[in-house]
Structure 1
Amino acid sequence: SFHHLNRSNQSFSSSDEDLLYSRFTFHAGGEFMMGDRFGLVPGVIVMSQGPSFQVNAGTSFKFLLGSRQSYQAFQVGLWTRISNKIETGVLNDAAILSTRFDYENFSLGFSYDINVSPLRTASNSNGAFEFALAYKICGLERRGVYCPNF
């Protein structure tokens, strides 16, 4: 996806021009079942805006739970966040631990970002907690084109 295509002026003064950089975001992923009840769910998110970029990449291990009549799954994953540091180039910024529970059309996720870069000094070695609650309006469907559950 693309954001800020019109590069709006974010200056507080009408005589100055400070154009907002356009942003590009790319998501890719898949699901590879390794048996009836276990699979790998790799993914990558790439974001670029002006001189800054960030890449989150990793994989989750998916375990199907319950009976075949209801969709239930549990995922646990390990990801990394890589970004640029203006003076020195690429920086491995964080390790990300993630979990997710799916029940029918609902998903509940939790992740914790562990800061592994020199920025941990500024954050007192505290990471970041993230919670997610999602509801799929359309249920699981059989389609001509495969679409993995994330």
Structure 2
Amino acid sequence: MRTLPIILLLLGFGLPALSQDPHFSQFFASPLTLNPAYTGKFNGQLRVAGNYRDQWPAISKAFVTSTISLDAPVMSGKLPDFDTWGVGGMAMSDRTANGILNSNYFALSTAYHKSLDENGLHQLGVGFQGVYTSKRLDGSELNFENELALDGTWTNPSGEAVDGSRISVSYLDFNAGVLYSGSSNGDDNFYIGASVYHLNRPKENFTNGNYTLQPRVSVHGGGYLPVGQATTLHLSGLHSRQAGANETVVGGAVAYNLIDDFERPTQFYAGAWYRFSDSFIPYVGFEFADIRLGVTYDVNTSALKTASMRRGGIEVSLIYIKKPSTGGKDIPCPKF
């Protein structure tokens, strides 16, 4: 199954019109890859988020993406009431075609969230992010059609610029976003945000030409609403566009509080999302103490379902939020 990952590599990264960013089905659990304005937007003193995705596992390591981020509010007590200034950092690794293309990203983010009312129930945040990107292409692992000899071996010279070479590129990148978050009574939450990645349109050069990385524009929103004494409905959606490629994901989950503790609930989540023209995404999650674990599995429904055997990809998210030692009513923040 080596040929298909190589084809995907060439389509995804060799042509500027088709190049796309790594992405997560659990976009709601990867805050700093979705919108820099999420930096510091949570109830707590520190947030650590980790994500792992193995896309199309039927095809050996076609796309394996992992990320870890850390963010926190700063200058607490020195800002106007209910305002928050957040800072954070993120590292992400994306391995394509069994490691033939390795991409690494290191980001620093900051965001300011301004309270729009005296109770802090409505807030508007603006965030910015700087990224250092490093990519390495191992051309010695690539096979091209014109290398195939009559005896079935790969011996002929291909004449391709990347053949037999290990090529590295690096550049700086800049992203920005806005986020509105509100609540009608302090128990629910609704939000909408927008982000633009690759504002400066950096250029990549693996051969003899410069390919411009097109901006990724995303609009996302959602919220949660208590629907019973121990049950909460969470909904979220995302629409992204990059280089003519579109992604639309919508869905939700129901959270059930397993114990009679509403300050630090232990909750079980079950739900599903749907990526239009691509996959159905069942989700289960578990939240206890300061940790939330989520697992999804993409069930491929597109024309690729025959090659992928309907196995779109497994994904795991883990979020740790350090809560303050003192109690008190939290301001509702986006969760899904």
The TM-score bracket by the shorter chain reads: 0.7 to 0.9
Give 1:130's aligned residue: 315
Larger radius of gyration: 2
Per-residue deviation, residues 115-149 of structure 1 (Å, max 9, x unmatched): 01111112122231111111013458634x53243
Give 1:147's aligned residue: 333
**Runs in 1 of length 4+ with deviation above 6 angstroms?**
none
CA distance in 2, matches of 1:79, 1:57: 5
Give 2:204's aligned residue: 10
CA distance in 2, matches of 1:2, 1:148: 19
SS, match of residue 118 in structure 1? coil
CA distance in 1, matches of 2:253, 2:275: 15
Give 1:54's aligned residue: 247
CA distance in 2, matches of 1:28, 1:62: 18
1:36 to partner: Cα distance: 0.9
Give 2:274's aligned residue: 80
Per-residue deviation, residues 40-96 of structure 1 (Å, max 9, x unmatched): 1110122211101101100111111112163211110111002xxxxxxxxx21000
Give 2:293's aligned residue: 108
Amino acid at match of 1:49: Q
Amino acid at match of 1:11: N
Normalised TM-score (structure 2): 0.39
Distance 1:112 1:135, change over 3 A: same
Give 1:89's aligned residue: none
> Quick check: 1:97 aligned with 2:291?
no
Give 2:265's aligned residue: 71
SS, match of residue 121 in structure 1? helix
Give 1:43's aligned residue: 236
Give 2:214's aligned residue: 21
Normalised TM-score (structure 1): 0.82
Task: State the structure with bigger RCO (CA 8 A, min sep 6), 1 or 2.
Answer: 2
Q: Percent identity among equivalent residues?
A: 29
| Structure holding more strand per residue | 1
| Structure holding more helix per residue | 2
Q: Which runs of 5+ in 1 are unaligned?
A: 83-91
SS, match of residue 122 in structure 1? helix
**Count of residue correspondences:** 139
Amino acid at match of 2:205: S
